[in-house]
Structures are given as structure tokens and as C-alpha cells.
Amino acid sequence: MNEYSDACCVRCAYFRPSDALTGLCHRYPPLFAGDSSPREAHHWRHPVVGPHGWCGEYRSAPASQISSSGVTS
């Protein structure tokens, strides 16, 4: 595995796509995101990451989690 191209967020077991350009990292519990919204659910968020990012916590996703486009589901 090429460390710089294969070990990226889009291929990580913790990555959850949110749109075509970003996803959410579910490696750790959600983080407090401030008080900009009056609804409690909006105070906690998983970090937004790019599909080609890399953080050092990479864990290979099971083959069944990776689609033919490389995006996890």
C-alpha cells in the first residue's frame, strides 16, 4: 500500500461521506461545535474531512464498505 495515496480518508473505516467533496470522520465521538444553533443536536459534530486527507489514524475499511468509486457507505 502506498502510504500517501491509499491511506486516505475516503478509504478509511471511519469515513462517512456527507457530499461529493467532504465527509465526516467517525474515529472519535462528536466534538462540541459551539452554540450557534438553539437546537441541542447542532452543538455536536464529527470533524469534516476531505476525501484525500490523512490524519495518521487510518484504518483500512472492509472491502464491503468501499464502493467501486472508492467512497465508503
pLDDT in tens, 2-29: 444 688 999 999 999 999 899 999 999 9
**3-state DSSP assignment of residue 15:** strand
pLDDT of residue 36: 63
Give residue 3's pLDDT: 47
Residue identified by cell 475499511 is: 61
pLDDT at res. 18 = 94
| Chain segment 26-62, per-residue pLDDT in tens | 999 998 877 666 666 567 889 999 999 998 899 998 8
pLDDT at 49: 95
The Cβ-side half-sphere exposure at 2, using a 13 Å CA radius, reads: 3
65 band by pLDDT with thresholds 50, 70 and 90: low
Domain-wise residue ranges, the chain? 9-65
